[in-house]
Amino acid sequence: MVFKVYYQEDPDRNPIREDTQVLYIEAEDLPQARAIVQKNTNYNVEEIEALSEKSLLYEESEPNYKLTTF
């Protein structure tokens, strides 16, 4: 399953909506997705969203879509 991760790069700074960035990862479930991000980054994770088939098709059509692998 593909998950969309909303994050801030600086964990010590208060989150600012305009600075929110996104990455896409593949994981079996939400806890595994969170563990992957925490293990491989120092990001302040705001939200992790499981993408449905329709949502994934939409995201894949965006020019900035890239599946991240660690």
SS3 annotation, the chain: CEEEEEEECCCCCCCCHHHCEEEEEECCCHHHHHHHHHHHCCCEEEEEEECCHHHHHHHHCCCCCCECCC
pTM score, whole prediction: 0.90
Tokens 């399953």 identify what position?
Answer: 1
Q: Give yes or no for residue 2 having a pLDDT over 90.
A: yes
22-54 pLDDT, tens digit each: 999 999 999 999 999 999 999 999 999 999 999
**Residue 12 pLDDT level (bands cut at 50, 70, 90):** confident
Q: Domains along the chain?
A: 2-60 (3.10.20)
